[in-house]
């Protein structure tokens, strides 16, 4: 499973940008952080609502 069921495009949330369902965290933000070499551990410190399993599903 790719975890795509956890991504939502709701016009009333974050301007219809792809975000994690139930959270106001943009998928593009996570992708950019990883692409720029930020360690997963640091991302999880900054966004503690993300759990390892959820985060790794997007990668």
Residue 40 maps to which CATH number? 1.10.10.10
Q: Tell which wins on pLDDT, 37 or 58.
A: 37
Residues 4 and 30: beta-carbon distance below 8 Å: no
Using one digit for the tens of pLDDT, what is the confidence trace for 4-28? 778 888 888 888 899 988 888 899 9
The pTM of this model reads 0.74
- For 45-58, give one letter per residue: b (16+ CB within 10 A) or e: eeeeebeeeebebb
Residues 58 and 27: beta-carbon distance below 8 Å: yes
Number of domains in the chain: 1
CB-hemisphere CA count at 13 Å for 43? 21
Task: State which residues form the domain around 38.
Answer: 4-58
- Per-residue pLDDT, 2: 57
**What is the residue whose two structure tokens read 């930020």?**
38
- Residue 41: pLDDT over 70: yes
- Per-residue pLDDT, 40: 84
Using one digit for the tens of pLDDT, what is the confidence trace for 27-39? 999 999 999 999 9
């Amino acid at each position: 499973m790719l975890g795509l069921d956890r991504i939502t495009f709701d016009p009333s949330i974050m301007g219809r940008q792809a975000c994690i369902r139930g959270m106001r965290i943009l998928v593009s933000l996570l992708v950019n952080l990883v692409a720029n070499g930020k360690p997963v551990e640091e991302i999880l410190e900054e966004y503690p609502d993300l759990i390892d399993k959820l985060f790794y599903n997007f990668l």
